[in-house]
Each structure stands twice: as structure tokens, then as C-alpha cells.
Amino acid sequence: MPLQDDTYLACNDVAVQGGVNAGAVTTGVGPVGRVFVYDIVPLALLANNLATSQSPGTAALTLAAGTGVTTATVNGQTVLQLDVPRILRFVSGGNDTGITFNVVGYDFYGQPMHENVTGASNSTASGAKAWWQVLSITPSAGVSSTITVGTGDVFGLPFYLKDKTYALGVQWNNTLAKDTGTLTTGVTTTPSATTGDVRGTYAPSAGASDGTKRLVFAQIISAAQTGASATRSAILGATQF
């Protein structure tokens, strides 16, 4: 039997009831879009809640679940799971600009994900992808001094944002006015270890996350993302690399 849901507002007899597209007797209005409200309270960002200070040389970093991070098992392997999908930060105690840190893990939907982050010199380097679970982090060359890895205040969006005009509203930290942070749309190129997030990210304008500040992101989900002709990539973005 035919299936219908609330994305279709159909009229049984358009000619009589005055629906849209009166030339087709059984065609009403639909599919229509929706609004999704992403509501999170991120825990405090930390510089070392995935890897405490260490000098690994060329070996994989020793990962440990710090504050706001838990352990989980995926495909028989132990991963570190973040509180919400968010970027990673790499704090170098020396000059690591000639090193890339290869991160392996999963996104919020369980897709395998990779990212290469170029190290910094006595400062912090940030990734661009929103991580949900981290399996391993391996440097491409010997770390010159020490390295820690923690979370950052750039948060992954749950659905693909192809254009900033689909952001209906953004509030942060119990403030009525719309937040003026940095909104990045999902990547449109073929994903790689150096491209951005496939769905998009948002970085609040001010005030570090601390477990009390709330982010409310209202996103318009178009008919093309939810209707009968919708595809996986339309709603979740390109397949992760």
C-alpha cells in the first residue's frame, strides 16, 4: 500500500479543494521541508583530555579518556568518545610544523574518518573535522618535544549544511540575541584527510564551553533532504574519508 508521512500535505481532489497544481487531480503540496533544532551543552574544552603530555617520537600517541571523554568499543577496538562532535586541538611543546598528526576514528553516524593535522611550534594546532570517536593518533615524524591532544570549541552539525542561509537561528550562552560566531558549511569537494567537515561546523563567538553554556542551532532541512527523492548525501553530506 502507498506510504505517506508528514512531509506530504496531499489533497484527495485538488480540482474541488483548490490545492496546488490543479491539473493533476490527486496532487497536493509536498514534499515540504522541516526545521531541526540542535540543542547541546558542551563540556569544558581541555588541552589534554585525549592525550596527556608525552614525547612519543614516531610512535602512536598514548590515548587516555580525560574529563568529558569516555571509552567505548567499536568493531572490537577501544575508542575515546567525546561528549559532542567537536574538533581536536594539538598543543606542541616544541616545533612540530614539519609533522602531520594522523587521526583515525569515527563520526557521529559511525562512518570511519581520517584527518591529518599539521603540528604547531610551541602553540596549538586545530583540526577541522568534528570527531565523535577517536581510535588512534600517529605522528608522521618524531615529535620534537612534547604533545598533548584535547578538545576544541568548534562543534559539528548533525545534518549537511550546504548554504549558510539554511541556518535559521543560532543562540549561545543564555543570550536572546543571535550569536555571531563562525559558521562553516559542509565540504563540497571529495573528502580527504585534509578537507573540512562533511556536514559543517559552528564556533560560538565568545566564552569557552564549560558544561553550562548552551548552543541552540536551528537548521532548515529542505524538501530535497527529506522528501521521496532525498539521498543519503543530501542529508548526511559526502561519504567520510
Instruction: Take residue 93 and report the three cell numbers written for it.
Output: 611543546
Report the alpha-carbon distance of residue 82 to residue 106 in Å, rounded.
11
Instruction: Take residue 106 and report the three cell numbers written for it.
Output: 569515527
Mean pLDDT by 10 residues, the chain (241 residues): 39 39 51 92 97 97 98 96 98 97 98 98 98 98 96 98 97 97 97 98 97 98 90 96 94
Domains of the chain: 1-30 (no CATH), 35-40+156-236 (no CATH), 51-153 (2.60.120)
Q: Are 183 and 170 in contact (CB under 8 A)?
A: yes
Q: Are 42 and 204 in contact (CB under 8 A)?
A: no
pTM of the predicted model over 0.85: yes
Instruction: Take residue 224 and report the three cell numbers written for it.
Output: 530535497
